[in-house]
Structure 1
Amino acid sequence: MKAALLKTLGVPLAIEPISDPLAGTGEVIVDVVAAPVLSYALEVFSGERRYPIELPIVPGCGAVGRVRTTGPDATQLQPGDWVFCDPTVRSRDDALMPDIVLQGWSSRGEGGKLLQRYFHDGPFAERMRVPTENAVRIGEIEPADATRWCALNTLLVPYGGLLASDLRAGEILLVSGATGNFGSACVAVALAMGARCVVAPGRNAQALADLKRRFGERVHTVALTGDETTDRKHMQQAAPGPIDCVMDLMPPSVPATTVRAAVMAVRPYGRVVLMGGVGMLGGPGLELPYPWIMRNDITLRGKWMYPKEAVTLMTGLIRAGLLDLGHFDVTTFALDDANEAVAHAAANGGPFRMTVIMP
């Protein structure tokens, strides 16, 4: 089969034949129909982002395709089934604290390295091997729609945070980082889940206006000033009532004060979920006041990625018409043009934009 190989950091992907993957027990071979290209893929492939990957590797993160063959223990999957290849691979030998890797993309810790060495290659190829539980059925779709279903890759990340927050229909959510790629997706998912209102702060006036245009009166935008106290006040005033939950999806480059302004806008007895990157590049941490957390009975938790059932649940939101994949603009490339796809993704990132390789 043909694949795009990353052999050396800083060198273009090599498009060449490699051996077909073989399925063992607990594994599935999927014919890749569409694979999203993350906007920062070029930074990973150049070595600018020092991801712990072992080369050579067929890269990529997540895909939509059809089951080709299954291992002997599969009981539901059938050849021809449309599936989302969930890149979040969990080790099977510790149910309490599994090691987790993103197949074809990154790993964490020594256990993650071991797991990545086995479930190594990603979807920039005609076929890929995934754990059986990571080939999640999405139902029948038209082949032409496979590229839009790659939006699952983006939507699932904030969905994991919203599930962790126990967001309930009728509640008010504040999305810190609402004008970013994951933040804008979070707005869409929260509304699909029945949020009464989403408060969307940001500095990009055009992106804020676009959120309002797409989703209407249930989105209340706030232009950030950079002053922590002022911004917090404006967020609270924009909400039609006390803010029940805050979801932070800010990138590492954002000052901690910007994130803290949003986090501390939550009501007493409210919930906060942290999925962003404050402190990852050094500098001050979030530094939330202990008395504020304790006396206001704030629930504060971190969340990385999403639970195993999230793909099936989100597929239900899409099938019900509550979440419209039509919001996403997609640009496609052939596998032979993988390097052009990576460059395009770097230059054309942002809310509701996708670059997709179609092997």
Structure 2
Amino acid sequence: MKAWMLDEPGKPLALRDEPMPQPRRGAVLLRMEAVPLLSYTRAYVEGKLPYAFPPGPFSPGTNGIGRIEALGEGVFGFRKGQRVAVNPYWLADETVNEPEQILIGLTGISAGGAPMLADFPHGTWREFAEFPASTIVALDGLDAMPSSRLAALGKLLVPFGGLRRGRLAAGETVVVNGATGYFGSAAVLAALALGARRVVALGRRAQALAALVESGQGRVSPVVLTGDGARDVAAIREAAGGGVDLAFDMVGHATDANATLAALRSLRRNGRLVLMGSMQVELPIPYGEMLINNWELIGHFMYTRADYLTLVALVASGQLSLDAVDVTTYAFARLEAAIDRAGSAQGLQCTVVLSDGEGAQH
């Protein structure tokens, strides 16, 4: 089979012939069909990110859509030929307070995650890939949807998990900071699907926010940030029609905390703030304001298996449409070009590599 291999960070990617894997006990073998690319993929393969890489040559790649080619012993709930999604967030299935965790095909997370990286080093950039059965999600009920479109689930999943952790309820108002980014734009779609009455989308580019307003069908209000804290808070509250129930921070690599603090201060009393972004500076928490307003601050990483199943159910039922995501597809052999495209994509755009090459636009 063909596989894209990275010998070590900073070395060129290579498309090679690799032995066909066989699924071990508790694992499944997938024939990959569609793989979405993260916006920072180029920086990752060049070794510019402080990540813990698998040992030796490996195939990167996190999320993806595939069909089960073979089942290892001890796998009971899946069947051969079934279409599934890859969930790269793997937690060791052990009854301990803090199980080890990694992102398959990307990085270790916990201090003791190195053995997990060594056990399943390969991600989704290969024609056939083996994964623990616990990281596979059934896509039953979505047979009519092309895999290239379903690959957008990986874009929605991260913010969806954060919004669920923040207990977003139908009828509430949510403000999304970083709404024009890769995950922030998806957070707007996810909040609408979860029943938000109003989504206030924060960003610095009016044109990028306009696409989100269109997708919201009257329930999305844009606010172009100015950097003036008091002015931005007033604008958010005006767009929301009062204090916000939930603030969701998904801003990437911010170098100041002004927008996050504006989102916090737009909350009504008893409001919640979920932090899922990658801000590069300290967040100065206003102790007295937190206290007097009963605000709740929630740091959150990734999502749960239940979140993924709920997301799939919303798509299958028609309550969440993936059509708002602008998917651009590339053939498997053109991975390098796809990586470049992913790095320049904005907002609701998503770059997907098709392992079988069928229907690829590039």
1:6 counterpart residue number:
6
The DSSP-based 3-state class of the residue aligned with 1:84 is strand
Deviation at 1:5, TM superposition (A): 0.3
Aligned equivalents of 2:268, 2:324: Cα separation in 1: 31
Does residue 345 of the first structure (1) align with residue 342 of the second (2)? yes
The DSSP-based 3-state class of the residue aligned with 2:270 is coil
Deviates more, 1:43-52 or 1:243-252: 43-52
1:344–1:12 distance in 2 versus 1, CA, 3 Å: farther
Report if the CA contact (8 A) 1:81-1:140 is conserved: no
Report if the CA contact (8 A) 1:236-1:242 is conserved: yes
Aligned equivalents of 1:132, 1:355: Cα separation in 2: 26
Aligned equivalents of 2:215, 2:50: Cα separation in 1: 36
Matching of residues 171-320 of structure 1 within 5 Å: 171-279=172-280, 283=281, 285-320=282-317
Deviates more, 1:140-149 or 1:238-247: 140-149
Report if the CA contact (8 A) 1:82-1:140 is conserved: no
Does residue 31 of the first structure (1) align with residue 31 of the second (2)? yes
Aligned equivalents of 1:130, 1:228: Cα separation in 2: 46
Deviation at 1:142, TM superposition (A): 4.8
Aligned equivalents of 1:77, 1:343: Cα separation in 2: 35
Aligned equivalents of 1:129, 1:46: Cα separation in 2: 25
Report if the CA contact (8 A) 1:270-1:297 is conserved: yes
Deviation string, structure 1 residues 283-340 (Cα, Å, up to 9, x no partner): 4x11111111122111111001001111111011111111111112222222222222
Report if the CA contact (8 A) 1:30-1:68 is conserved: yes
1:354 counterpart residue number:
350
Aligned equivalents of 1:257, 1:327: Cα separation in 2: 30
1:254–1:178 distance in 2 versus 1, CA, 3 Å: farther
1:328 counterpart residue number:
325
The one-letter code matched in structure 1 to 2:201 is A
Does residue 22 of the first structure (1) align with residue 22 of the second (2)? yes
Report if the CA contact (8 A) 2:61-2:105 is conserved: yes
Aligned residues: 354
1:145 counterpart residue number:
146
Let me know the Cα RMSD of the aligned residues. 1.5
Aligned equivalents of 2:153, 2:255: Cα separation in 1: 26
Report if the CA contact (8 A) 1:172-1:241 is conserved: no
1:34–1:308 distance in 2 versus 1, CA, 3 Å: same
Aligned equivalents of 1:139, 1:312: Cα separation in 2: 10
Deviation string, structure 1 residues 132-151 (Cα, Å, up to 9, x no partner): 11111011545871011111
Report if the CA contact (8 A) 1:23-1:29 is conserved: yes
Deviation string, structure 1 residues 12-66 (Cα, Å, up to 9, x no partner): 3110111222212211111111111212111011112232113311001111000
Aligned equivalents of 1:274, 1:168: Cα separation in 2: 18
1:42 counterpart residue number:
42
Deviates more, 1:187-196 or 1:7-16: 7-16
The DSSP-based 3-state class of the residue aligned with 2:244 is coil
The DSSP-based 3-state class of the residue aligned with 1:267 is strand
Report if the CA contact (8 A) 2:104-2:121 is conserved: yes
Report if the CA contact (8 A) 1:151-1:325 is conserved: yes
Matching of residues 31-110 of structure 1 within 5 Å: 31-53=31-53, 54-110=55-111
Structure 1 length-normalised TM: 0.95
The DSSP-based 3-state class of the residue aligned with 2:102 is strand
2:116 counterpart residue number:
115
Aligned equivalents of 1:31, 1:331: Cα separation in 2: 21
Aligned equivalents of 2:347, 2:320: Cα separation in 1: 15
The one-letter code matched in structure 2 to 1:149 is L
The one-letter code matched in structure 2 to 1:206 is Q
Report if the CA contact (8 A) 1:331-1:356 is conserved: yes
The DSSP-based 3-state class of the residue aligned with 2:112 is helix
Deviation at 1:277, TM superposition (A): 1.5
Report if the CA contact (8 A) 2:23-2:29 is conserved: yes
Structure 2 length-normalised TM: 0.94
Deviation at 1:72, TM superposition (A): 2.0
Structure 2 gaps, min length 5 = 356-362
Aligned equivalents of 1:240, 1:333: Cα separation in 2: 43
